[in-house]
Amino acid sequence: MQTLAGGRLKKILYIDMDGVLVDFASSFEHVSDGMLEEFEGREDDIPGIFSHMEPKPGAVEAFHELAAIYDTYILSTSPWENPSAWSAKLVWVKTHLGRVAHKRLILTHHKELNRGDFLVDDNTRNGADRFSGELICFGSERFPDWPAVVRYLKERAGEGGT
């Protein structure tokens, strides 16, 4: 499922949202202390929480840079008990990533079902540990931030026909 770009195949890249593109904790200042206490340990179930999140430093620029090189998708899990998160994630993508991410948001609890070359994720839950391509662990010692991820993926883009 690779796309053609100038007669050459583009590799498929998936990027997680929460903790990778999105700074989840940035929304806490917009939520009452009572709500944070009520939903302690399951903050992603707080109604409307996803609509207040800010991008991680360098995430928007990195997405645009990588989308020029890779067939790039956002691969995220959305809380099952918080349907407002589904629409808020779409609005976030439209607001922060714009046209380059048009119809490129995939919400799933089974990331391993998506075929591709790379997945940038900050954890191994929801099938990320069983992804058939290479899992890039965002926030790890090897990939602590977006500049490290972009450098690595730019080096890897040249392999296999691109």
Active-site positions? Answer: 16, 18
Torsion of CA 95, 11, 20, 22, to 10 degrees: 10
Residues 6+ apart with CB under 8 A from 56: 19, 20, 21, 22, 23, 146
The token pair at 101 is 């991410």
Identify the residue whose tokens are 């890039």: 136
Radius of gyration of the chain (CA): 16
What is Dmax (Cα atoms) for the chain? 56
CA distance 116 to 1: 8
